[in-house]
Amino acid sequence: MKQLFLALTVILVAGSLAAAGTYAGFIDSETSSDNAFQTDSVELILENPLGIGDSEGHSVVRTWHYENKFPPGLMEPGDVISSHVYLEAFSTHIDDHVDIRCINVNSEPDWDTDAENAAEDAILGYDVPPDPGFGIFDKDTVMIITGMSYHTMPIIWGEYNSFDTAIFTDTSDDGRISLDEFEAQGLHGLTPVPNSGVITFMMTVKFADGIWNEYQGDRTNMTLIFTLVR
């Protein structure tokens, strides 16, 4: 019985020591604070030439507009509109490249003139209603880009066979690049806009010489989209 009592005493003492070991008399904690995971930012603004449309912002309007041609007025075959837009970046790091594309919408806001209606009848082979919204809607195919440059790089520098073939392909096989071909292909991988500078995009558009009665009164509305890519 004595040996059993001693054994039980040893077990109780050992258990007490084990329990006591799970508690500490002093505790000190330190912190690692102000840890943040903030995302990068890319900011691009545009600026029109002085005196044209909106001056500066995330978007500008009426940069290439028939009212800005000289002399002012609606376009006729042979007329030219030339303008440019400034690109400025406010990014937190150096960006990778710029892409430029356009979206063209051809429309007929007014009733056909007699000459337009006759031309559309002859081309399409049936009697086209003279109401707005009927007929031929491809005027961007005869709006020819005769000049285009980005920063220090010339892209198009003449009306016939004068363009960078590494950038544009003459899909219509007429020796020229139209707004329609610009829309289909776009510009890709251009020099990024520096964070402390401005890059200029210039473009000249000509209503091709010819007799285009089917486009009398028609309108091409072009939207240019500039994308700064990280």
What are the two backbone dihedrals, phi and then psi, of residue 78, each rounded to the nearest 5 degrees? 100, -15
> What per-residue confidence (pLDDT) applies to 157?
97
Contact 110, 132 (CB under 8 A): yes
**Is the previous residue joined to 192 through a cis bond, with omega within 30 degrees of 0?**
no
Residues 202-207: what's their mean pLDDT?
Answer: 96
Least confident of 13-22, 83-92, 132-141, 186-195: 13-22
Q: What is the SS3 assignment for 13?
A: helix
- Residue 70 DSSP code: S
Q: What is the pLDDT of residues 122-172, one digit of tens each?
A: 999 999 999 999 999 999 999 999 999 999 999 999 999 999 999 999 999
CA gap 226, 46 in Å, rounded: 9
Q: What is the pLDDT of residue 107?
A: 94
pLDDT of residue 6: 47
In single-letter form, the type of residue at position 104 comes to: N
Q: What DSSP designation does 217 have?
A: T
Are residues 174 and 45 in contact, defined by beta-carbon separation less than 8 angstroms? no
pTM of the model: 0.82
Please determine, for residue 196, whether its predicted confidence score (pLDDT) is greater than 80: no
- Reply yes or no on whether the pLDDT at 36 is more than 90: no
**Angle formed at CA 201 by CA 198 and CA 202, multiple of 5 degrees:** 135
The residue that leads in pLDDT, 197 or 133, is 133
Of 203, 127, 199, 193, which is closest to residue 163 (Cα–Cα)?
203
**What average pLDDT does range 89-94 have in this prediction?**
74
Q: Are 68 and 111 in contact (CB under 8 A)?
A: no
* Residue 98 CA, distance from chain mean position: 8
Q: Are 207 and 75 in contact (CB under 8 A)?
A: yes
Burial of 215 (0-12, 13-18, 19+ CB in 10 A): buried
